[in-house]
């Protein structure tokens, strides 16, 4: 294949949803169809030890939730598919936001019974802000759920985007029997098959007008389908990819990830519609995916994917140019040349050493601590810098220290590495060597931090909550001692040496801002922004 053909066949997308909408299960079924796994492990199948393939961390297997993004790749129908499976829990939303930076499109998963939920709204807003086309998969239609027309209305009212159903569930009041394809005007009926949790086609590609099909469905169900189709054709939106790209329209699919109901039709249609790698804005220029000059950015770092070796893997999204094993690239932040040895692609913890990769691909490389989230790698003869990686202000704070002071070295290493991942934010107080101030978006992050310090670094942590809920970065060179109104606040330094004010609530922060009119306080500096 030529370079351009390789670029055009890439599909890189993130799956986003509220917790428990079935996101990890859908990911596994997509892998199943891609031949990447032979037995999909349900996140609920704990008794049989069939853990979800995309949940690699031990705490994920124990809790049955995703707490970190997974990167998964496979080939299907001529496409090279890169799936970014993100945590649904709001406490890990920062990891999800960063991962969305690496996606060209997103699949928004909605529970048919619950509709659009709070976390879905937040993630949708990020996608829309960044111009990421969104495809909607309404999940769990094998259970009783809401009327499809009601869901379409809720999507429009809650998210401000119109939905265009690409298929339609056949049945009444949640008792669905199949999927109607609006493009081919045919219906696939499904019958349950207990082997591997799959569904076998009981009747394929029946015309909705076939008398035998009417008899098979029953008069009431058949008439309901005819009425729904007519309403969609007359009053519904037509598919328009330019409107999808502009964030005005979302293609809508129905199915059940747990039972494979409608998953294969969704995968095939999605891959035909989803965009190939898109151009990326850099500070100097817009980088075209078809450019042969290499560029990439780091969007994720994961320590201890192999606990036995305490490795540190840097995940990067290739934006342009062909990647070749062993190539040397320029690390823009340090100005150093780095040789990218042992590049890997992933199926959760299963790694494959690769020789080459193309724009849209996600690869992992070993790193000793040089690179950070948001960093740019590029060809030395064509320098670009990707920016706009947000830091999200933490809302919960604690002082964390080692119970055994003799393990200070392991403690500092663990805290530093986990902070580099973005699992938490750490701050330092002057003259405090035995503890860190830790900031988190959600309380569950503290639990994960404690678990990983204990199990990956052999350190028993002591965590003491602090009475702060607001963090603000101080812009410029300001003498903190001269600031007014900081009696009940704490001044700390972040991992880049920038001054941060921790204070109890927004009202008090407003009072501090009012008392110091010449000082600029930033809520969300970017990783590439020098405060």
- pLDDT digits over 207-234, tens only? 777 787 788 788 888 898 889 999 998 8
The tens digit of pLDDT for each residue in 415-441 reads 887 777 766 788 888 777 678 898 887
Both 413 and 345 in one domain: the answer is no
Contact residues for 324 (Cβ-Cβ < 8 A; gap 6+): 355, 356
What pLDDT does residue 86 have? 63
CATH assignment of the domain containing 403? 3.30.70.3280
Look at 306 and 370; give whichever has higher pLDDT.
Answer: 370
> Which of 254, 274, 294 is at the close of a domain?
274
Segment 332-336 mean pLDDT: 89
Q: Is 19 annotated as a binding residue?
A: yes
Q: What is the pTM of this model?
A: 0.74
DSSP lists the bridge partners of residue 192 as: 199
Is 88 annotated among the ligand-binding residues?
yes
Confirm whether residue 24 is marked as ligand binding.
Answer: yes
- Tokens encoding 187: 């219906």
Is there a single domain that holds both residue 144 and residue 268?
Answer: yes
If asked whether residues 409 and 478 sit together in one domain, one would say yes
Give me the DSSP letters along 281-323.
EBSSSEEPTT-SS-EEEEEEEEE-SSTTTT-EEEEEEEEES-E
d(CA 133, CA 107): 9
85 among annotated binding-site residues: yes
Q: Do residues 284 and 383 lie in contact, with contact meaning Cβ atoms separated by under 8 Å?
A: yes
* Residue 305 counted as domain residue: yes
Q: What angle do CA 108, 109, 110 make, to 5 degrees?
A: 120
**Lookup: tokens for 150:** 């009601």
365, containing H or E segment: strand 362-366
Same domain, 266 and 287: no
User: Residue 390 carries which DSSP code?
Assistant: B
Determine, yes or no, domain membership for 180.
no
Cross-strand bridge partners of residue 15: 85, 107
pLDDT confidence tier of residue 249, bands split at 50, 70 and 90 = very high
292 inside domain: yes
17 assigned ligand-binding residue: yes
Orientation angle between helical segments 23-33 and 263-273, nearest 10 degrees: 80
* Number of C-beta neighbours around residue 218 at 10 A: 13
d(CA 162, CA 252): 10
Range of 496's domain? Answer: 396-522
- Alpha-carbon distance of 276 to 284, in angstroms, equals 23
Residue 53: inside a domain, yes or no? yes
Shared-domain flag, residues 327 and 433: no
For residue 413, give the H/E element and its range. helix 408-421
Boundary (domain end) residue, out of 225, 258, 274:
274
Q: Residues 142, 261: one domain?
A: yes
Q: Are 266 and 414 in a shared domain?
A: no
The whole-chain average pLDDT of the chain stands at 79
Cα distance between residue 28 and residue 36, in whole Å: 9
**Structure confidence by residue, pLDDT tens digits, 260-280:** 888 888 999 999 999 999 899
Q: Is 22 annotated as a binding residue?
A: yes
pLDDT in tens, 92-134: 456 667 778 889 999 988 888 888 877 677 777 777 777 889 9
* Residue 179 falls inside a structural domain: no
Residues 453 and 366 in one domain: no
Is there a single domain that holds both residue 246 and residue 149? Answer: yes
Read off the pLDDT band of 373 (50, 70, 90).
confident
DSSP 36: S
pLDDT (0 to 100) of residue 46: 32
pLDDT of residue 390: 63
Tens of pLDDT, residue by residue over 481-501, are 878 878 888 888 887 788 888
Question: Considering the domain boundaries, does residue 308 fall inside one?
Answer: yes
The residue among 407, 409, 405, 420 whose CA lies nearest residue 304 is: 420
Residue 51 sits in a domain whose CATH number is 3.40.50.300
Strands annotated E in 143-288: 162-165, 167-172, 175-181, 186-192, 199-207, 249-254, 280-281, 286-287
Q: Name the residue with tokens 């939730």.
A: 65
Which residues have CB under 8 Å from 218's CB, separation 6+? none
Which of 257, 274, 291 is where one domain is finished?
274
DSSP state of 89: S
Average pLDDT over residues 24-34: 81
169 annotated ligand binder: no
Same domain, 297 and 411: no
Please indicate if the annotation marks 89 as binding a ligand.
yes
221 CB-near residues (< 8 Å, 6+ apart):
170, 171, 172, 177
Residue 386 lies in a domain: no
Count CB atoms within 10 A of the CB of residue 20: 16
Find out whether 142 and 256 touch, Cβ atoms under 8 Å: yes
Tokens of 373: 């989230």
Report how many domains make up the chain. 3
User: Does 305 share its domain with 418?
Assistant: no
Residue 252 placed within a domain = yes
20 is in an annotated binding site: yes
Q: Say yes or no: 371 and 417 in one domain.
A: no
Per-residue model confidence (pLDDT) at position 307: 56
CB 470 within 8 A of CB 506: yes
**Structural element, H or E, at residue 223:** helix 219-235
Residue 84's SS3 state is strand
Q: Which neighbouring-strand residues pair with 521?
A: 474
CA atoms of 460 and 451, how far apart (whole Å): 9
Helix (H) or strand (E) holding 453: helix 444-456
pLDDT tens string 66-96: 334 457 888 888 999 988 866 544 444 566 6
């Amino acid at each position: 294949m030529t370079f351009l053909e390789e670029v055009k066949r890439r599909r890189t997308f993130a799956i986003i949803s509220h917790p428990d909408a079935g996101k990890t299960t859908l990911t596994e079924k997509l892998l199943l169809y891609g031949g990447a796994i032979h037995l999909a492990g349900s996140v609920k199948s704990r008794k049989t030890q069939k853990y979800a393939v995309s949940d690699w961390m031990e705490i994920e297997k124990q809790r049955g939730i995703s707490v970190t993004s997974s990167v998964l790749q496979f080939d299907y129908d001529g496409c090279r598919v890169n799936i970014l499976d993100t945590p649904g829990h709001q406490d890990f939303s920062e990891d999800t936001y960063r991962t969305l930076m690496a996606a060209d499109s997103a699949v928004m998963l909605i529970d048919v019974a619950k509709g659009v939920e709070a976390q879905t709204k937040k993630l949708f807003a990020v996608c829309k802000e960044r111009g990421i086309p969104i495809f909607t998969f309404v999940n769990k239609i094998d259970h009783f759920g809401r009327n499809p027309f009601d869901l379409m209305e809720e999507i429009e009212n809650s998210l401000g985007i119109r939905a265009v159903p690409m298929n339609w569930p056949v049945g009444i009041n949640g008792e669905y029997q199949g999927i109607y394809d609006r493009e081919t005007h045919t219906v696939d009926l499904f019958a349950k098959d207990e082997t591997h949790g799959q569904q076998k086609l009981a009747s394929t590609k029946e015309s909705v007008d076939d008398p035998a099909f009417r008899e098979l469905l029953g008069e009431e169900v058949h008439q309901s389908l005819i009425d729904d189709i007519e309403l969609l054709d007359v009053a519904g939106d037509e598919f328009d990819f330019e409107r999808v790209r502009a964030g005005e329209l979302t293609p809508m699919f129905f199915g059940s990830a747990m039972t494979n109901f409608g998953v294969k039709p969704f995968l095939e249609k999605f891959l035909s519609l989803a965009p190939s790698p898109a151009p990326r804005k850099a500070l100097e220029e817009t980088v075209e995916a078809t450019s042969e000059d290499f560029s990439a950015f780091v969007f994720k770092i994961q320590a201890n994917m192999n606990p036995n070796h305490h490795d540190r893997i840097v995940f990067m999204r290739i934006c342009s140019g062909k990647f070749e094993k062993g190539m040397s690239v320029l690390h823009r932040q340090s100005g150093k040349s780095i040789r990218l040895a042992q590049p890997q692609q992933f199926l959760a913890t299963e790694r494959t050493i690769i020789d080459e990769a193309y724009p849209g691909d996600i690869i992992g490389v070993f790193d000793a601590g040089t690179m950070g989230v948001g960093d740019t790698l590029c060809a030395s003869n064509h320098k670009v810098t990707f920016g706009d990686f947000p830091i999200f202000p933490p809302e919960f704070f604690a002082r964390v220290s080692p119970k055994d002071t003799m393990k200070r070295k392991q403690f500092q290493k663990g805290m530093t590495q986990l902070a580099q991942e973005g699992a938490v934010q750490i701050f330092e107080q002057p003259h405090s060597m035995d503890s860190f101030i830790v900031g988190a978006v959600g309380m569950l992050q503290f639990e994960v931090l404690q678990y990983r310090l204990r199990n990956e670094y052999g350190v028993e942590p002591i965590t003491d909550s602090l009475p702060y809920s607001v963090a603000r970065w101080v812009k410029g060179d300001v003498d903190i001692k001269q600031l007014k109104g900081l009696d009940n606040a704490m001044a700390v330094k972040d991992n880049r040496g920038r001054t941060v004010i921790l204070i109890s609530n927004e009202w008090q922060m407003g009072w501090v801002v009012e008392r110091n009119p010449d000082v600029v306080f930033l809520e969300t500096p970017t990783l590439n922004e020098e405060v």
